[in-house]
Structure formats: C-alpha cells, structure tokens
A and B are shown apart, each in its own frame.
Chain A
Amino acid sequence: MSSEPIDLRREQNNVGSIVDRAAKWIFFSCALVTVLTTLAIILVLVDGAVDFFSHVSVVEYLTGTEWNPRDAADPSFGVLPLVWGTLVITVGSALIAIPVGTLTAIYLSEYADERVRNVLKPTLEVLAGIPTIVYGFFALSFITPIIQLVYPGVGVFNALSGIIVVGIMIIPMVSSISEDAMSSVPDSLRNAAYGLGATKFEVSTQVVLPASLSGILAAYILAISRAIGETMAVTLAVGMLPQITASPFAEMQTMTAYMVEIGTGDASVGSIGYMSLFALGLTLFLMTFTMNIGSMWVRSRYREEYE
C-alpha cells in the first residue's frame, strides 16, 4: 500500500488535515456499510425465524415431511419437501455443470488457441450475464417441450427441466474459476512433464488437474452454492408442488420457489406465511454461507501454493 504523505508545513496544513481525517472517516463508514449489511441480514432472518418458531416447533420444521402452510385448519411446516426439491435441482445441475465446466476449462486452458479462446470466453461471459428470469422462460418454452417430445406425458412443471437449465446457468461459473486455477499452474510443471515424454492428455489430467485441484474444488462449491440459492429459473420450471419423490419428471418446489410464491401472494405481516419466509431465508443463508466459507477456505489453501 502507498506510503504516508510527508507533511512539510504542519501548521498551514491544519485545515487540510481536518479534511483529510474527515475523508478517511467518510470512506471508512462506506466500508462499514458492508459489515452492517451482514449484521442486518442475520438480525432480520433470526428475528423473523424466532417469530416463526414460536408458532412451529423447530423439530417439526426440520423433520416434517409435509409442507402445506395454506391449510387453514391444520397447516404443516415440515421443510424436508422443499429441501428435497432444492437438493434434487442442486445435485442434478451439478452433475451437468461440473463435468461440462471442467472439460471446458481444460480445453480453454490447455488446448484452445488464441482465436478459439477469443470466441469461447466471451460466449461464456454472455451466458453468465443473462438474467435468471430469462433462463426460466427458456426452460418453459424450449427445454420442457423437448422433454415432452422424448417422454410424452411429462407435465409443464418438472424437475428435469429445472436441472438442465440451472446446469447450463452454472457452467460458466465452474469453467471460468477452474480455468483461472489451471492457468495459474506454472508452465515449468507442464514442461517438466513434457520433458519426461508425457502427452498433452497426461499433462492435462495428471499434472495440471491435480495441481489446480483446490481452485477447481472452490469453483464447484461456489457453483453448487449458486444453484441452491437460484430462484427464478426453478420457480418457473420446477413448479409449486412441494413433495418428496424420486421421479425427475415430477413437479416439485424448492425453498426459493416457495419464497417467491409467498412474495408474490398477499401474505400479510404477522401471518404464519410471512414468518415462514424468514425461517426459510435463514435456512438458505446458513446453507450458502457454509458453502461460501468452505470455498474461501479451499481457495486460500491453494493460493499459498504458487505465490
């Protein structure tokens, strides 16, 4: 960081130093906003969740297999069907994005020449910049009809459509972070392997891949975390029916999709539906928080290796 200024005329500079100190504090308070944001998120979620759990027992919430908050006489708040929907989408989309994204990264980092890279990288950036609502529309109007062509009788809302579209959505995340990790593997390692007579395939899979493994793992964790929190595409594609089923063609509901359902409805403040938003928000936050911290931890280990 830069050195401190040398103050040559201390007394004449008094006014200047007041401005200087004021500037520092103003900038500091801007930085503080980010910390306050985190505190506010935690406070808001915990506060709302406490309200919710004064009506619904934590045990029922965490172990219940039925989520039916609209039944006025006997509402049930077992979160497992929503967690199931979220997990199905997350695991399914990871099964698509992780192999495709990793192979794309290897191609970009080890094989592609300048011209191909100049097409491929911007394409992936465009893919990453498309709003998730557009992916939701794409799932409804393109992917689902194709699924219905192959498997007639599949409903408009189905998990598979959501899995495919979220998988496509998180490919750029896997590929770009993995490629960064692979590109920062020093060429001396590659050349040493070539010197031993290794082929490009061996260098890619037995030298570069292991050497950048922690960076790649961090990319996977981040992409999975993104899939957990993804909202609009799964709301449109997967549907609004919370249920635990093994069929990928069934309609399901994710935690985020339920939150949208309540958000677009007219859940009044103080109603149990409104309060459930915060319990789910807290659950979602804790899940993604754990993964983000895990990704940061894995990545910090990798940084030590080459710097």
Chain B
Amino acid sequence: MSTGTESDGFDLEDASIERMQLYGRIFLGLCLAAALVGIVALLALLYDVVSEAWGWLTWEFLTHPPSMLVEHYNPGNYGDLPTGPGGIYPALVGSIYLIFLTAIFTLVLGVGAAIYLEEYAADTRLTQLIEANIANLAGVPSIVYGLLGLALFVRAMGAGSSLIAGALTLTLLILPIVIVQTQEALRAVPDSMRNASYGAGATKWQTIRSVVLPEAIPGIMTGIILSLSRAIGETAPIIMVGAATSMFGPPTLTDPTTSFAAMPMQIFEWAKAPEPNFQHVAAAGIIVLLSVLLLMNATAIYIRNKYDRRA
C-alpha cells in the first residue's frame, strides 16, 4: 500500500496524521454546530411564540368571536367592554370541522387508491405513471392547490367559499402523502397472511377486507392523522379558496356550504395587522393552533406505539 512519500490517497506520515486529526476535529465541530442550528431555531421559535402570547391566551380568547379592536383581546379589559372580548372561537371550530370533512374524503380516496396500487395493480406503464404522478403531486406548491380549489370547487362546481370547498381542496393537497403512507402500511402486511386467506378459499376482496385492512389499520391511521395535522396548518390554499378573514360565529357541519373561518387564516389576519398588540393576539392564536397540532401528533404516536407493542 502507500508509503510515506508516494501516496496519493491516505498519508501515514506523523505530521499529516496530526493534520488530518485536526481537520477531523474542526469538521466534527462544524457538523455539531450545524446540528445545533435546528435545535436553537426551534427553541427560539417556541420561546418567541410563548413569550408573545403570555397572558393573552385566556379562556375568553378560546370562547369568543374575533374583534377588530385589539383592546377587546386584552385580558385586563374584559370587564369594561360593552362588546365583549375578542377571540378565536369561530376559527377554532371552523378548523376542526374542516379537518373532520377532510379526514372523511381522505380516508375514502387515499385508502382506496393505495389498495388499488398495492393489491391490484400489476406493474404496468399505467401503474408507473400513476406512481410517478403521485410523487410529483406531493411537490406541487400548496398555493397552486388553492388555485385549483378556487377554479374547480368554488367557481365551476358553484360551492362558493365554503367549508366543503376548503375540505375538498385540502383533501387533494394531502392525498399524495396519505396514499404513499397507506401503501407502506399495506406493504408491511406479510404475504403469508394473504396466501393463508386465499388458501382458505377467500376471494381477493374478502382477503383485503378481513385480513389485510385490519392488520394495516394502525399504520394507515397514523399516516392519515399526521397528514391531517399538516393540513390544519395550511394557510395558502384556504386563502385562495376564500376562507373568511373574520367570522363572528362558527360554521355549521350540517350545512357545509356555508362560509367558514379557519385558524391559520385568522392568525394571518392578526399577524399582518399594524397595531403592535395584535402580535400578542396572533401568538395566542398560534399557541392554540400548535396545541391542536400537538394533540393530533400525540394521537398518531399513541396509535403507532400501542399497536407496535402488540405485534
């Protein structure tokens, strides 16, 4: 191998070993510093949001409709105001309804498409095209989905800037991720279970319904909940669809053609308001949004862990 003088790869001379070790330490330091950037950024972000929201996130904030007057949000003023405090209630309820409807559409379309691709589709050109298309859809900017929703659901189908138009738009947005994650859950079901079912005389549909799906449900649920938690924070698509900037009452789930407010949109309105106090109000809204997000992620992790242990 290499001797001290004529190596072009790894040099074994003492001085150069020391030099390499120094480079190594510097490099490790750089890597460590880079890895810390993420943690520092996350801590700074959380500190910023919590400190801005401190004292502004009250029960009244959760249970009252928004107001244009920043004084109406100030906890100290609640007793004195004739019009009552301002809060996030209609947007909170709107977001929950929006995610509920999105969940239903996503469940049907996402699981259906994944079952087709994983259990039925042969490896043809068409299947490859569908898979490549799904991968590409996952990279389409969310604001473009907003334009699609605006032209297709709001205008062409005449749904207006409604809860249903918002939910359909968000469904198309998260569908690619849901399909890929559901496919992974289906792929994790061992073929031996399918073959045992076929061996017992079951048809393909019977096998899927009674063997594959029950086994894959925890994985599917985890994927769907994580995708929905991404959808609940999406702002750009619901802006394009025309979510209301301020709604003074929550939308009704029984009539999803009514207009709606949603938390990200409400936070955007507050965040861009020039009065400095609206910063605090926006931060309080962000805490509510992040709490809902955290709750959804915790649910997904709980499902995953619970069924992991059983398996």
Give me the interface of A with B, judged by CB distance under 8 Å.
Answer: 1-9, 13, 16-17, 19-20, 23-24, 26-35, 37-38, 40-41, 44-45, 47-48, 99-104, 106-108, 111-112, 119-120, 123-124, 126-127, 129-138, 140-142, 168, 171-172, 175, 196-202, 204-205, 222, 225-226, 228-232, 235-236, 256, 259-260, 263-264, 269, 277-278, 281, 284-285, 288-289, 291-293, 295-296
Contacting residues of chain B (103-118) with chain A, CB-CB under 8 angstroms:
108-113, 115-118
Closest to B274 in A: A156
A260 and B133 contact, CB distance less than 8 A: no
List the interface of chain B (C-beta within 8 A of A): 1, 9-10, 12, 20-21, 23-24, 27-28, 30-35, 37-39, 41-42, 44-45, 48-49, 52, 108-113, 115-123, 129-130, 132-137, 139-148, 150-152, 155, 172, 175-176, 179, 191, 194-195, 198-199, 201-208, 229-230, 232-236, 239-240, 242, 245, 264, 267-268, 271-272, 279, 282-283, 286, 289-290, 293, 297
Instruction: Knowing A38-B133, A132-B233, A296-B132 are in contact, say whether A2-B38 is a contact too (CB < 8 A).
Output: no
B279 CB contacts on chain A under 8 angstroms: 140-141
Contact (Cβ within 8 A) B268 A20: no
Interface pairs A-B: 8 shortest CB-CB:
A229-B141, A131-B233, A30-B112, A103-B34, A27-B116, A201-B24, A107-B31, A292-B139
B37–A202 CB distance below 8 A: no
The reply to whether B49 and A33 form a contact with Cβ atoms under 8 Å apart is no
- Contacts known (A44-B147, A231-B236, A284-B144); A134 close to B1, Cβ less than 8 A: no
Contacts of A138 in B (CB 8 A): 44-45, 48-49
What are 10 A-B interface contacts by the 8 Å CB criterion? Answer: A2-B198, A3-B198, A19-B205, A23-B208, A101-B34, A133-B235, A134-B49, A204-B27, A232-B236, A260-B236
Contact for A27 among B120, B147, B201, CB less than 8 A = B120
When chains A and B are docked, how far (Å) is the Cα of A22 from the Cα of B140? 32
> For the complex, what is the distance from the CA of A281 to the CA of B146, rounded to whole Å?
10
A277 and B31 within 8 A (CB): no
Do A30 and B109 touch across chains, with their CB atoms under 8 A apart? yes
CA separation between A236 and B201, bound complex, in Å? 61
Q: Which of B30, B108, B176, B242 contacts A34 (CB 8 A)?
A: B176
Chain B min CB distance to A138 (Å):
5
Find A31's partner among B1, B121, B297 (CB 8 Å cutoff).
Answer: B121
Residues of chain B with a CB closer than 8 A to A123's CB: 38-39, 42
Contact A141 B195, beta carbon cutoff 8 Å: no
Q: Are B175 and A142 in touch, CB under 8 angstroms?
A: no
